[in-house]
Amino acid sequence: MNFREITIKYIKDILRAKTISEVIQLELQEAHLRKLEAETAAEYAHAAMQYNNERIQRLEKRLAQHKEEA
């Protein structure tokens, strides 16, 4: 196949109506991608919560030490 034939085939594939199976497959791929993105966001949020909990504990300990010294 030459460039012209490949290009024509590509354009025909884009313009043709998708089958139900193709539409379902595309939606399934999209759902998997969104699930992975949501899991990443949840992991990030969990790490941020853990960081801030440790930070709060550290600061409360420092504040208690400072009050004892004063």
* Per-residue pLDDT tens over the stretch 29-40: 999 999 999 999
pTM, two decimals, is 0.65
What was the pLDDT predicted at 1? 82
pLDDT surpasses 90 at 70: no
* Per-residue pLDDT tens over the stretch 26-69: 999 999 999 999 999 999 999 999 999 999 999 999 999 999 98
Residue 7 class from Cβ within 10 Å (0-12 exposed, 13-18 middle, 19+ buried)?
exposed
The arithmetic mean of pLDDT across residues 5-31, rounded, is 95
